[in-house]
Amino acid sequence: MFKRISLRLPFTTFERELLTKVNVAPAQLHPNGWAFVRAFQILCGYLGIPPLMDVFLHFFEVKKQGKSLWVSFSGVASRILFTLFKNSFKGWKGNFFRVCCAKHDPTTLDGLLLYWTEKPNPIKPKSLDELASADREVCVALAGLKVVFHTPTLISREFKANALSAYFGRESRPLLVFFIPDSWSCFFLIIVSNVYLL
């Protein structure tokens, strides 16, 4: 996953909060679930908004893999933002490696479950009515894009600014994002012809 989905350590604050909310260790999350998490962060970063857990959980729900301890995120049928990274992952369940904290950064794994849990939280998707007003605005704006983004493409172009801009320009309607100083939550989106985020 670190190579194919570009997962990196230390985990971001968003990733830590999400794992804590779901009550799972990092290795319990299915690769497609991790890919959704990465794609969501890339999309938010491009649009200049912070990745927020409640916004993510409006578009995704937690699903357990049968009787196993694996869990994944599944897109809500009427709110799909991203494609699956891959339809079928084979051989990933038996491959693990040990991660140790470096002496210069002993907090790398702070706040993370280092053991598998038997009771992941079966989180259902949040409705708009359950969200704070600022989060609701973000959800409405993202849903308004009316685009299902190709997850592998987003992840592969994360650090290729021109290629990422070209992809967003091709897949979605042009957007300008305006922010009110000191309050990201008061942003609004304006659709503008022939203007692209760079």
Q: What is the DSSP string of the chain?
A: -TTTS---SSPPHHHHHHHHHHT--GGGB-HHHHHHHHHHHHHHHHHT----HHHHHHHEEEEE-TTSS-EEEEE-GGG--B--S-S---S-TT--------TT-TTTTTT---S--S----PPPPPGGGS-HHHHHHHHHHHHT---B-HHHHHHTTT-HHHHHHHHHHHS--EEEEEETTEEEEEEEEE-TT----
181 occurs within a structural domain:
no
For residue 186, is it within any domain? Answer: no
Percent of the chain with pLDDT over 70: 70
Let me know if residue 123 belongs to a domain: yes
Say if CB 32 and CB 72 are below 8 A apart.
Answer: yes
Mean pLDDT along residues 18-45 = 92
Q: What is the mean pLDDT of residues 122-147?
A: 92
140 within a domain of the structure (yes/no): yes
Domain assignment present for residue 191? The answer is no
Q: Is residue 41 part of a domain?
A: yes
Query: pLDDT higher for 19 or 182?
Result: 19
Domain total of the chain: 1
pLDDT band at 117 (very low <50, low <70, confident <90, very high): confident
Q: What is the pLDDT of residue 184?
A: 43
Q: Which residue has the higher pLDDT, 6 or 38?
A: 38
Position 182 in a domain:
no
Q: What range does the domain containing 33 cover?
A: 13-172
Q: How far apart are CA 93 and CA 77, in angstroms?
A: 27
82-100 tens-digit pLDDT: 998 876 666 656 655 555 5
What's the pLDDT band for 1 if we cut at 50, 70, 90?
low
Question: Which region among 20-24, 108-112, 175-179 has the lowest average model confidence (pLDDT)?
Answer: 175-179
Q: What is the mean pLDDT of the chain?
A: 78
Q: Is position 31 within any domain? A: yes
